[in-house]
Structure 1
Amino acid sequence: MTESTTPGRRRGAELEQAIYVATLDELAANGYGRLTMEGIAARAGTGKAALYRRWPGKQPLVLDALRYALPPLPEPDPERSTRENLADALAAFSGVLAGRTLVPGIEFIVDLLREPDLRAMFADRVIAPRLERIEAILHEGMRSGELGPEIEHPLAARTGPALILQTFLLTGEPPSPREIDLIVDTVLHRTATS
C-alpha cells in the first residue's frame, strides 16, 4: 500500500519529518506518559495509519524522532587539543539537555526514568554512541601523550556528562561556558600526564 498521491499531501521523507517534529512537540507538551499515536497524528496533520505503517508503537517512534532531532557530536579535530575536542563534545551534550535542539530537554530525560524499556533503548541507541565519542577523544589524548593511562578507567568518559546532568538537576540551568571548562578540568585532572 502506498501513500495517497493527492496533490498537497506529504509523503515519504517530508511526511516522516513532520511526524518526527510532531512527536517531539507532543513530548514537550505532554510528556512521554501522556503521549499517544493519535495526538502525534493530529499534530502532524496525518492519519494514525501513516504512523502504524512505519512504527508498531510510540516507543520506536520516539527513539527515531530523537535520533532525527539530535545533532551529531562534533567530529574531533586532529589539529585541536584533546581538551578542546572534549569541551566541544560536552558543550554539545549540554545543548541537548538545555533544549537548544529539537529534543524536548531535561524534562524529557527525567520522564524517561519512569519508563524502564524506553530508558534502556535511549541509553543504548542515543547515550552510548555519545559516550563512545567521548571515549574516543580521551583515548586519542592518551595515544598522543596528552593524557596518562588513567584514562582507561571506565568512568572517565561518563564523568563530564554526569556533571552536566547534575548541574541541570541542582540549578535547573545548563552549565555556563566557564562551568563546562571546569568540568573538562575535572575530567582531565587525574588523566593528565605529569
Structure 2
Amino acid sequence: MAEESEGRVRSDAGRTRRRGAALEEAILRAAADELTGSGYAGLTMDKVAARAGTNKNALYRRWPNRLALGIAAYKHLATTVQPPDTGTLRGDVLEWLRQANRYWSSPLGAILRELLAAAGGTPELLARLQESSADATAAPWLTILGRAVARGEAPPEALHPRVATVAMVLLRNEFVVRAVPAAPDEVLVEIVDEVYLPLVRGRGEPPA
C-alpha cells in the first residue's frame, strides 16, 4: 500500500510540474488522438483530460468548450502542404484540386467536415477553422499563379486572391451542394478548363 501510495504521489507530482507550453502540448496531443480515434462526435473534455493526465479545469482555462478544443486539435494535426510544380498552370491547378479532393475524403478531411458542421453557427470559430485549413488560404494559389506569370502563361493582373482561389471555391461548392466527400475527376477538369483558365487568361485583356 505504501508503494502504491508513493506511486500516486509521484504521479500527481509529475502532473503538477507540467505547466504552460508543456501541458498545452500534452492536451493538444491527447485531443488530436481522440479526434483521430473517435472523430469529433467522440471527443469529450473528460476523455481528453484523462488521456492528457490532467483535469478538465486545465482544458477550460485554455479552450471555452469542446468545439474550440477540437479546432485547436485539428490545427495541431494538419500539416502544411506545398503546392505542386508540374511546369504548367493547368497541371498545377488540376493537381492542387485533386489533392484537395483526396484530402476532403480522407480521415482527416472527415474530421474537418465534422468541425465545419459543428462550427456552422459560430462565425468566430468557423473563421478560425477555415484559416487553419490547408486549402483555405490564397497563398499556395498565388504561388501557382506567380509561377504561371513568370512563365508567360498568365498576365500579372491575375495575381489577385479572389481570382487565385476561384477553383477551390467552386470545388467546395460541389462538396456543400452535393453533400459528398469527393467530386468526380471530370468535375475538376471542367472547373479548370471551363472556368479557371479562361478567367485567369482573360484578366489581361482590355474590357470590351
Q: TM (normalized to structure 2)?
A: 0.67
Q: Does 1:88 align with 2:95?
A: yes
Structure 2 unmatched runs, 5+: 1-12, 17-22
1:24-35 alignment, distance < 5 Å: 27-29=39-41
Q: Which amino acid aligns with 1:151?
A: A
Question: 3-state DSSP class of the match of 1:191?
Answer: helix
Partners of 1:106 and 1:168 within 8 A in 2: no
Deviations 1:115-174 (A, max 9, x none): 122112223333686321112111221122111234134321221121111111222222
In 1, distance between residues paired with 2:117 and 2:185?
23
More off after superposition, 118-127 vs 173-182: 118-127
Alignment of 1:20 with 2:28, yes or no, is no
CA distance in 2, matches of 1:109, 1:138: 28
What is residue 20 of structure 2 aligned with on the other side? Answer: none
- Match for residue 132 of structure 1? 139
Select the structure that is richer in helix.
2
For residue 149 of structure 1, what is the amino acid of its counterpart? P
Q: Which runs of 5+ in 1 are unaligned?
A: 5-10
Per the alignment, residue 192 of structure 1 pairs with 201
Q: Secondary structure at the match of 2:111?
A: coil
What amino acid is the match of 1:189? P
Question: By how many angstroms is 1:2 displaced?
Answer: 4.1
Distance 1:128 1:100 in 2: 16
Alignment counterpart, residue 170 of structure 1, candidates 170, 174, 177: 177
Contact 2:170-2:191 at 8 Å conserved across structures = yes
Q: 1:116 aligns with which of 109, 123, 136?
A: 123
Match among 68, 78, 83 for residue 76 of structure 2: 68
Identity %: 18
- For residues 119 and 178 of structure 1, what CA distance do their matches in structure 2 show? 30
Cα pair distance change 1:61/1:150, threshold 3 Å:
same
Instruction: Tell me by how many angstroms 1:55 deviates.
Output: 3.8
Please report how far the alpha carbon of residue 16 of structure 1 lies from its aligned counterpart in structure 2 after TM superposition: 4.7
Question: Which residue of structure 2 lines up, in the alignment, with residue 8 of structure 1?
Answer: none
SS at match of 1:109: helix
Quick one: which of 145, 151, 163 aligns to 1:144? 151
| Residue of structure 1 equivalent to 2:8 | none
- Deviates further, 53-62 or 137-146: 53-62
Matched residues in 1 for 2:112 and 2:104: separation? 4
Q: 1:40 to 1:18 in 2, by over 3 A?
A: closer
Larger mean Cα displacement after TM superposition, 19-28 or 167-176: 19-28
Alignment partners' CA distance in 1, 2:71 and 2:153:
36
**Shift of residue 112, structure 1, vs aligned partner:** 2.1
- 1:75–1:163 distance in 2 versus 1, CA, 3 Å: closer
| Cα gap change, 1:41 to 1:66, in 2 (>3 Å) | same
Tell whether the 8 Å contact from 1:19 to 1:40 is kept in structure 2 after alignment. Answer: yes
